[in-house]
């Protein structure tokens, strides 16, 4: 099989590799669709994200879907020919976090395309049965791949406990901001405002149901958000935005940090957090939401097709990463189809 391998910074080569053999509790999957994620671009450009460093050749890609072509001897719920989305983080299933359902916090999670675990820019992958989810006929492989980022949005909405008619402000209209927008709408939020500096991304936000879009390079967010909102979602990762988030939450409101910042320490108004009694929530990936994400999509409550702007074959994985990195004014999600 072919695999697109990150050899060193800014260098991906197509390699021939052995097709892996599924263990007894695994399925062998022919990968059909892989979304390019910001984290893939980080590893491609810098060879590291924080303490995760690429020390040997690595296959990137973790947002993926494909077809089951072989099953292990103990697999019961999937069969050859099933179309599936793969949840890319496999936890230990034994620690206290796993046992209490917060398996995204498992210290031993093996997450695709996080060194040293290979990812999905390849033709075949083996994957445990319990982290593979069948796709209904009306969901395409490309949409199946984007169940991964959609899960981040849904998990964020759940952690914020969105209630009917809650007002929401989202910073960042990239892929994660746009799935968070759709998730909070599906969970019953009222008015949703979204802020970015990119008009193309804001036009997508409007298409996907934002009540008001604000281009913060031209307009002041303060002019629109006078009384504060119930929940602020930070999905830009921009440090100056992060330090202002608390200002836009109303008394008793919440601020949810989804975007990873490039710096560890960022100034924030601590007195405002106390005097407004704000709840601050961190988000790390997701847990127990894949099935729900697929159901919401299959029932037409969210739209992932609108996010897909470009497609590349596996041989052009490097071009796909370069394109996604350099064309934020005209692309949202770039897909690689092995």
DSSP class of 140: -
What CA–CA distance (Å, rounded) separates 234 from 326?
23
**Count of chain residues binding Zn ion (CB under 5 A):** 6
Min dist CB 231 to Zn ion, Å, is: 22
Min dist CB 10 to Zn ion, Å, is: 20
Is residue 157 involved in binding Zn ion (CB under 5 A)?
A: no
Largest CA distance in the chain: 62
What CA–CA distance (Å, rounded) separates 133 from 292?
10
Of the pair 95, 298, the CB lying nearest Zn ion is at 95
Q: Which of 104, 40, 31, 163 is nearest to 284 (CA)?
A: 104
Number of H helices and E strands in the chain, helices first, is 10, 20
Of the pair 60, 68, the CB lying nearest Zn ion is at 60
Min dist CB 18 to Zn ion, Å, is: 27
Of the pair 71, 152, the CB lying nearest Zn ion is at 152
Of the pair 248, 257, the CB lying nearest Zn ion is at 257
Of the pair 149, 253, the CB lying nearest Zn ion is at 149
Min dist CB 176 to Zn ion, Å, is: 8
**Binding residues for Zn ion restricted to 81-100, rule: CB under 5 A:** 91-92, 95, 98
**Binding residues for Zn ion restricted to 8-37, rule: CB under 5 A:** 37
Please, are residues 67 and 31 in contact by the beta-carbon 8 Å criterion? Answer: no
Helix (H, G, I), strand (E, B) or coil at 23: coil
What CA–CA distance (Å, rounded) separates 131 from 150?
16
Of the pair 109, 208, the CB lying nearest Zn ion is at 109
What CA–CA distance (Å, rounded) separates 338 from 20?
16
Q: Quick one: residue 129, left, alpha or beta (phi over 0 = left, psi -120 to 50 = alpha)? A: alpha
Burial 137-146 (b: 16+ CB within 10 A, else e): eebbbbbbbb
Of the pair 105, 268, the CB lying nearest Zn ion is at 105
**Binding residues for Zn ion restricted to 295-324, rule: CB under 5 A:** none
One character per residue 36-55, x = contact with Zn ion (rule: CB under 5 A):
-x------------------
Min dist CB 97 to Zn ion, Å, is: 5
Min dist CB 107 to Zn ion, Å, is: 7
Min dist CB 285 to Zn ion, Å, is: 9
What CA–CA distance (Å, rounded) separates 135 from 205?
26
Min dist CB 248 to Zn ion, Å, is: 26
Of the pair 111, 248, the CB lying nearest Zn ion is at 111
Query: Which range, of 101-109, 203-211, 225-233, 267-275, touches Zn ion by CB under 5 A?
Result: 101-109
75, 84, 106, 195: residue in contact with Zn ion (rule CB under 5 A): 106
**Binding residues for Zn ion restricted to 128-147, rule: CB under 5 A:** none
Q: Which of 65, 180, 179, 33 is nearest to 133 (CA)?
A: 65
User: How many C-alpha atoms does 204 have within 13 Å on its Cβ side?
Assistant: 29
**Do strands 308-313 and 333-337 pair parallel, antiparallel, or not at all (unpaired)?**
parallel
Residues that bind Zn ion (CB under 5 A): 37, 91-92, 95, 98, 106
């Amino acid at each position: 099989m072919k695999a697109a391998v990150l050899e060193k910074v800014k260098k991906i080569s197509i390699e021939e590799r052995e097709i892996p053999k599924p263990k007894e509790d695994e399925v062998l999957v022919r990968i059909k669709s892989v979304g390019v994620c910001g984290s893939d671009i980080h590893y491609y450009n810098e060879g590291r994200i924080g303490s995760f460093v690429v020390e040997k050749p690595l296959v990137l890609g973790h947002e993926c879907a494909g077809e089951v072509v072989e099953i292990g001897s103990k697999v019961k719920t999937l069969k050859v020919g099933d179309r599936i989305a793969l949840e890319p983080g496999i936890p230990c299933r034994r620690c206290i976090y796993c046992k209490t359902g917060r398996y995204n916090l498992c210290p031993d999670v093996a997450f695709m395309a996080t060194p040293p675990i290979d990812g999905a820019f390849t033709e075949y992958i083996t994957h445990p049965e319990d982290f593979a989810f069948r796709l209904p006929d009306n969901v395409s492989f490309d949409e199946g791949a984007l169940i991964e980022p959609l899960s981040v949005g849904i998990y964020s909405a759940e952690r914020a406990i969105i209630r009917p008619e809650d007002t929401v402000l989202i910073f960042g209209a990239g892929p994660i901001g746009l799935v968070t927008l759709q998730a909070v709408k599906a969970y019953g939020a009222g008015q949703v405002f979204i802020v970015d500096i990119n008009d193309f991304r804001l036009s997508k936000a409007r298409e996907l149901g934002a009540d008001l879009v604000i281009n913060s390079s031209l307009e002041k967010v303060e002019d629109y958000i006078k009384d504060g909102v119930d929940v602020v979602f930070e999905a830009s990762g921009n440090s100056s935005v992060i330090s202002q988030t608390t200002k836009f939450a109303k008394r008793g409101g919440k601020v949810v940090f989804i975007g990873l910042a490039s710096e560890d320490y960022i100034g924030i108004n601590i007195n405002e957090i106390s005097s407004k009694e704000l709840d601050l929530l961190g988000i790390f990936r997701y847990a127990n939401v894949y099935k729900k994400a697929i159901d919401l999509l299959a029932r037409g409550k969210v739209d992932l097709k609108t996010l897909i702007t470009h497609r590349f074959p596996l041989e052009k994985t490097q071009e796909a990463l370069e394109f996604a990195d350099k064309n934020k004014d005209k692309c949202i999600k770039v897909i690689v189809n092995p």
